[in-house]
Structure 1
């Protein structure tokens, strides 16, 4: 029984990590692609930075929201805050980098 509980706990952590990786990465990269302004050529490292920044912002918003008691893991407010904060971080980085 303890093995099943351990597996359930680990799957929850890994699924949260993967979900925030996908949500944050897509938000960061789409902010870089669709933000208006001249882009000075194709720079893959800037797209990777936008991807990583979006992921970090999504994970941080989830962690801080749970730490401050605003929401619990898996609630829709957690997903909404992760999406909003990762989009805002991607747009801010893109506005400063372009």
Structure 2
């Protein structure tokens, strides 16, 4: 996957975890939303390259997309649960 795909997948996954996670939000909302999106982007990027390095999948396979989305959502939910 390319850089733009990591940005879109990770950003949307992280931001959606922040938006749809229940709970009272404390502090500046926009900064934490952008941080959740950035963490999702970094997680999708690392998952893709780590999976390729370890030989679980090749670039562009469906497993790469699914693992990037799953881990970005997981990290976004963990960050959101700790931040809210």
User: Quick check: TM above 0.5?
Assistant: yes
- How many residues matched? 84
* Higher RCO (C-alpha under 8 Å, 6+ residues apart): 2
- 2:15 aligned residue: 29
Q: CA RMSD in A?
A: 1.2
- Alpha-carbon distance between aligned partners in 2 of 1:34 and 1:43, rounded to the nearest angstrom: 13
Deviations 1:27-70 (A, max 9, x none): 00000000011113652110110010000000000000000000
Find 1:54's aligned residue among 40, 43, 59: 40
SS in 1 for 2:2: helix
After the TM superposition, which parts of structure 1 deviate over 2 Å for at least 4 consecutive aligned residues? none
Unaligned segments of structure 2, at least 5 residues: none
Structure 2 length-normalised TM: 0.95
TM-score of the pair, normalised by structure 1 = 0.82
Q: Structure 1: which 5+ runs fail to align?
A: 1-14
